[in-house]
């Protein structure tokens, strides 16, 4: 198969299994994010793909060629390093031209291709500057140009935006995405920032403890986080212990209605067992009428909406979050109902309860 194929990759560093049986496929032209908290093995994985680190076992194939044991200079990959790693003693031009010159291309060809790259990243004027004379954003673009000028089969980026200030970050990530799509280059992008991952990726591999927890597109990750870890990592999610009853879900001491009227009668759903219920704040309906089941603890304004922190009756330990409009937000005692809920057991998603047909979707437990 074309693109990047990683199979059963393992790496132990300092007596710790840092990458644990990791398999991943990146289709040609796709941008895939490795997303996970600091220390979960993202950089280690990327460095093994780039050839800077030898895997203990497993294979890495790029466009059908097994590169597992090749040194970096013989892999069709190009990396943008976290601190850019521009050579401070070379000008912008020389930084970008370095790889081309190694390939014994003629002067004119080198000039032309570097010029084209400089135009692509909007740095034509900075051609003869040294890296120290450039801003962070400009250095970042030089690093990108240096990687892209070699027309690699696979582009690797290690937290390329982490050294930019917040405002610049959004602009540059859109730029990277646009260039990536224009060149249709397969890309692995490492980040710990879910916003970054959700906005620019075709698919996202959420990592934790050296393993891939879930490999999905942004939509799938948000709608159906397959593990409790992903549920907690992507977006806001309240997690509360609950049981299935006739009226819906028994959370705390009160039954909370869920989407469909008679949840307990749905086939395939176990009653009497305790589920870990995952609830997105936008799926919580808060009413002041009816019999109250919760208390509003706090109201947090977010501009165009408000977030309520709620305490369920009979469950003092858990806080449930709900998003409501800014006009007349409910206060005091309220009644809750859910538009949607996810049922987890042993850290894995088992059921999605949603107003679809059928209302309860049984999901194969992994």
Ligand X SMILES: Nc1ncnc2c1ncn2[C@@H]1O[C@H](COP(=O)(O)OP(=O)(O)O)[C@@H](O)[C@H]1O
Write the CA distances from 16 to 39, 47, 56, 180, 289, integer angstroms: 12, 17, 12, 35, 55
Beta carbon nearer to another protein, 94 or 306: 94
Q: Is 195 left (phi over 0), alpha (psi -120 to 50) or beta?
A: alpha
Q: Give residues 206-265 in contact with ligand X (rule: CB under 6 A).
A: none
* Of the candidate residues 5, 9, 18, 100, the single one contacting ligand X (CB under 6 A): 18
Measure the CA–CA gap between 331 and 308, rounded to whole angstroms: 9
What is the DSSP track for 26-94? E-TT-EEEEE--TTSSHHHHHHHHHTSS--SEEEEEETTEE-TT--GGGSSEEEE-TT----TTS-HHH
**Counting every residue, how long is the chain?**
366
Instruction: Report the chain's C-alpha Rg in angstroms.
Output: 25
Residues 302-331, mask of contacts with Mg ion (x by CB under 5 A): ------------------------------
Residues 32-71, mask of contacts with ligand X (x by CB under 6 A): ----x-xxxxxxx---------------------------
Considering the complex, what minimum distance in angstroms separates the CB of residue 16 from ligand X?
6
HSE value, Cβ hemisphere, 13 Å, CA-based, for 310: 34
* Of the candidate residues 1, 8, 13, 116, the single one contacting ligand X (CB under 6 A): 13
Considering the complex, what minimum distance in angstroms separates the CB of residue 192 from Mg ion?
8
Beta carbon nearer to another protein, 130 or 285: 130
Say if CB 175 and CB 167 are below 8 A apart.
Answer: no
* Of the candidate residues 28, 136, 137, 264, the single one contacting another protein (CB under 8 A): 136
Beta carbon nearer to another protein, 99 or 235: 99
Beta carbon nearer to another protein, 110 or 230: 110
DSSP run (H or E) holding 354: none
Per rule CB under 5 A, count of chain residues that contact Mg ion: 1
Q: How far apart are the first and last CA of the chain?
A: 25
Beta carbon nearer to another protein, 90 or 224: 90
Considering the complex, what minimum distance in angstroms separates the CB of residue 34 from ligand X?
8
Per rule CB under 6 A, count of chain residues that contact ligand X: 11
Q: Give residues 35-94 in contact with Mg ion (rule: CB under 5 A).
A: 43
Measure the CA–CA gap between 19 and 43, rounded to whole angstroms: 10
DSSP run (H or E) holding 214: strand 211-216
* Of the candidate residues 23, 25, 52, 209, the single one contacting another protein (CB under 8 A): 52
- 83 touches another protein by CB under 8 A: yes
* Of the candidate residues 27, 70, 85, 241, the single one contacting another protein (CB under 8 A): 85
DSSP run (H or E) holding 363: none
Sequence-separated (6 or more) residues with CB below 8 Å from residue 166 = none
Q: Which does 13 bind (CB under 5 to 8 A by kind): Mg ion, another protein, ligand X, none?
A: ligand X
Considering the complex, what minimum distance in angstroms separates the CB of residue 13 from ligand X?
4
Considering the complex, what minimum distance in angstroms separates the CB of residue 40 from Mg ion?
9
Binding region for Mg ion (CB under 5 A)? 43
Binding region for another protein (CB under 8 A)? 50-52, 71-73, 77-79, 81-89, 98-99, 102-103, 130-132, 136, 139, 146-147, 150
């Amino acid at each position: 198969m074309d693109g990047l194929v990683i199979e059963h990759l393992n790496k132990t560093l300092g007596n710790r299994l840092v990458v644990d049986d990791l398999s991943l496929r990146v289709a040609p032209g796709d941008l895939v994010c490795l997303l996970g908290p600091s220390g979960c093995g993202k950089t280690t994985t990327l460095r093994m793909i780039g050839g800077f680190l030898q895997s203990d076992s497993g294979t890495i194939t790029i466009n059908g060629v097994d590169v597992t044991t090749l040194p970096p200079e013989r892999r069709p990959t190009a990396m943008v390093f976290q601190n850019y790693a521009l050579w401070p003693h070379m000008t912008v031009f020389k930084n970008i031209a370095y790889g081309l010159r190694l390939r014994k291309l003629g002067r004119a060809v080198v000039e032309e291709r570097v010029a084209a790259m400089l135009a692509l990243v909007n740095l034509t004027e900075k051609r003869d500057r040294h890296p120290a004379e450039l801003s962070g954003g400009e250095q970042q673009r030089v690093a990108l140009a240096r990687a892209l000028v070699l027309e690699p089969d696979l582009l690797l980026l290690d937290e390329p935006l982490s050294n930019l200030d917040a405002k610049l970050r959004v602009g540059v990530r859109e730029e990277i995405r646009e260039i990536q799509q224009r060149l249709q280059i397969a890309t692995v992008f490492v980040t710990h920032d879910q916003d970054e991952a959700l906005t620019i990726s075709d698919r996202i591999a959420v990592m934790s403890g050296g393993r891939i927890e879930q490999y999905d597109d942004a939509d799938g990750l948000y709608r159906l986080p397959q593990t409790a870890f992903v549920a907690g990592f992507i977006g806001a999610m309240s997690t509360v212990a609950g049981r299935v009853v006739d009226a819906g879900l028994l959370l705390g001491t009160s039954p909370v209605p869920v989407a469909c009227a008679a949840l307990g009668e749905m086939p395939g759903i176990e009653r009497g067992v305790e589920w870990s219920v995952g609830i997105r704040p936008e799926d919580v309906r808060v009413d002041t009428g009816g019999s109250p089941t919760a208390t509003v603890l706090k109201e947090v304004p977010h501009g165009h909406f408000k977030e309520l922190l709620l305490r369920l009756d009979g469950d003092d330990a858990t806080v449930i979050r709900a998003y409501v409009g800014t006009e007349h937000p409910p206060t005091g005692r309220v009644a809750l109902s859910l538009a949607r809920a996810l049922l987890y057991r042993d850290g894995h998603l088992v059921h999605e309860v949603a107003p679809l047909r059928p209302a309860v979707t049984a999901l194969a437990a992994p």
